[in-house]
Each structure stands twice: as C-alpha cells, then as structure tokens.
C-alpha cells in the first residue's frame, strides 16, 4: 500500500480524477506533480477559474451576513450575479424560521475505515430539510442528467444524509435532502436533484467501489486515452499541447 493512500482523505475531486484516468490520479495525488500556469494559452482558463473563486467568496460573505466588498474588476457582473442569489435565497434578518446557513461547510465521514470529505458551497437546514447548494460559473450549462451522474452529487448527498442530521441532532428523511446546482450566468432555476433511500444505498456502494479501486495500486498506471484531450498532463503523457478551453473545471477546487 502506498504510504500516501494509508491516510488519504477521499473527496469528489480525487474520485472524479481517478474515474477520468487512474494515471492522472497517480500524477496528481501520489506523485504530487504540480501543474503550473506558465504560458499564454492558460491565461483565459485561469481568469475564468478566478471569477468562479471570487463569486464563491461573495456568496460566502453574503451567507455569513458580512459586507460583500465587491471587487471593482468585473463589478457589474458580480453585482448582477449576487442580485440573483439574493432573490433566490433571501436571508431574513430576524431569521424567525430558524433557517441555518452554512457557507463553505466541510464535513468528513468514515466509510468502512476510509475517510471521505465534502466541502459544500452552501448547506441550508430548515424544518428538518437539508438543501445543498453548489455554484457553477462555467459557461457550459449543467443539465439534470449530467448533474445526477456527477461524482460530486453522489459524494455530497451521501455525506450530507449520513453526517449532518447527527451533527445537528435532527431527523431528516431521505426525501428531504436535495442538491441544487445554480449557474448565475443563466436565467434558469437551479437544477434540483432529489433523493431517496434506494439512491442512498446505491451511492454507498459506488463510493466504496471507487475507494477500493483507488486502493489497488496495480491499477494506477492504467491510462484512459479518451480523456487525454481534457487533461492537463497531455503534454507529459503524449507530448501534446494542453487545450485549456477543454479542461474540466470540476477537477479544480476553488
């Protein structure tokens, strides 16, 4: 067993990376090869990540009830996005309904001896219901099918149901856990993923299966050639230029 894997904290990012390509997982999480921005082509990609990061910070401030402090650069866009968030999720100052807002909330769970973590953009607890919110600022629209199949959805909903009711000492039915993906760039309503016990059990199995695969180091040199054009290691593996506009944002945590 690789020493790093002995105490590894699994996350949607690491599982997703493994699912894309086991060799990519090895490069990123075991060999810890750093991918640095060092050319002009990467600039636009990094700028879009930076916008996402800034928007996440503004949401964190809003739900923490502290001043937003919107940056002058791109202030029009951020103001428009934040107005949408305020309309979608108005915070009632007296909070009579005792809604709990947990921005940038991180939890951990021990699944069969392995630690797995989830860091949520926002968790809202109200009336024994849990809403998980995720902000997406990428240009590609998230649709229901895509959202439902994301490793992020699987890990986030599973951990929310297992951990949050115990921490807050509340009873939460499976059907009362919802995951919502919201893209402020689009006019649409959030994409809402519903839940039930059967889905929960299937998510348990899928997460466990992924962890067992990751722990099998014999699989670590397996390549997924279909993923190369979306991968930052394309130059390292195949000597080909990285196409930044194709890189998947979801592999990079804000």
Which chain residues interact with ligand SF4 by CB under 6 A? 21, 23-24, 27, 223-224, 227-228, 231, 233-234, 237-238
Smallest separation (angstroms) from ligand SF4 to the CB of 89? 37
Q: How far apart are CA 5 and CA 77, in angstroms?
A: 42
State the nearest-atom distance from the C-beta of 203 to ligand SF4, in Å.
Answer: 25
Residue closer to ligand SF4 (CB basis): 23 or 157: 23
**Contacts for 161 with CB less than 8 Å, ≥ 6 apart:** 130, 172, 174, 177, 195, 200
Helix H, strand E, coil C: the string for 22-73 is HHHHHHHHHCCCCCCCCCHHHHHHHHHHHHHHHHHHHHHHHHCCCCCCCCCC
φ, ψ (nearest 5 deg) of residue 118:
-135, 130
Nearer to ligand SF4, 33 or 163 (CB): 33
Greatest alpha-carbon span in the chain = 60
Instruction: Give min distance, CB of 236 to ligand SF4, in A.
Output: 7
Tokens of 212: 């067992």
User: Whose Cβ is closer to ligand SF4: residue 98's or residue 225's?
Assistant: 225
Q: Which is nearer to ligand SF4, 129 or 227 (CB)?
A: 227
Would you say 5 or 100 has its CB closer to ligand SF4?
A: 5
Question: Which among 22, 160, 221, 50 is positioned nearest to 14, based on CA atoms?
Answer: 22
Find the shortest distance in angstroms from Cβ 26 to ligand SF4. 8
Min dist. Cβ of residue 144 to ligand SF4 (A): 27
């Amino acid at each position: 067993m690789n020493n790093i894997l002995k105490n590894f904290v699994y996350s949607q990012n690491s599982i997703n990376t493994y699912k894309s390509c086991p060799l990519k997982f090895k490069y990123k999480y075991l060999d810890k090869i750093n991918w640095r921005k060092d050319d002009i082509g990467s600039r636009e990609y990094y700028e879009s990540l930076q916008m996402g990061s800034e928007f996440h910070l503004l949401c964190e401030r809003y739900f923490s009830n502290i001043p937003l402090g919107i940056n002058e650069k791109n202030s029009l866009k951020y103001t428009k996005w934040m107005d949408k968030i305020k309309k979608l999720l108005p915070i009632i100052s007296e909070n009579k309904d005792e809604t709990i807002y947990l921005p940038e909330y991180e939890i951990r769970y021990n699944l069969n001896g392995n630690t797995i973590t989830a860091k949520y953009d926002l968790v809202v607890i109200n009336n024994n219901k849990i809403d998980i919110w995720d902000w997406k600022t990428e240009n590609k629209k998230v649709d229901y099918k895509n959202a439902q199949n994301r490793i992020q959805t699987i890990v986030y909903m599973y951990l929310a149901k297992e951990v949050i009711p115990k921490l807050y000492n509340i009873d939460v039915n499976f059907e009362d856990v919802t995951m919502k993906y919201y893209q402020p760039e689009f006019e649409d309503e959030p994409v809402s993923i519903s839940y039930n016990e059967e889905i929960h059990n299937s998510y348990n199995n899928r997460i466990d299966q992924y962890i067992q695969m990751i722990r099998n180091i014999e699989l670590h040199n397996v390549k997924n050639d279909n993923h190369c054009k979306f991968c930052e290691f394309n130059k390292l593996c195949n000597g080909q230029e990285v196409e930044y506009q194709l890189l998947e944002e979801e592999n990079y945590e804000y």
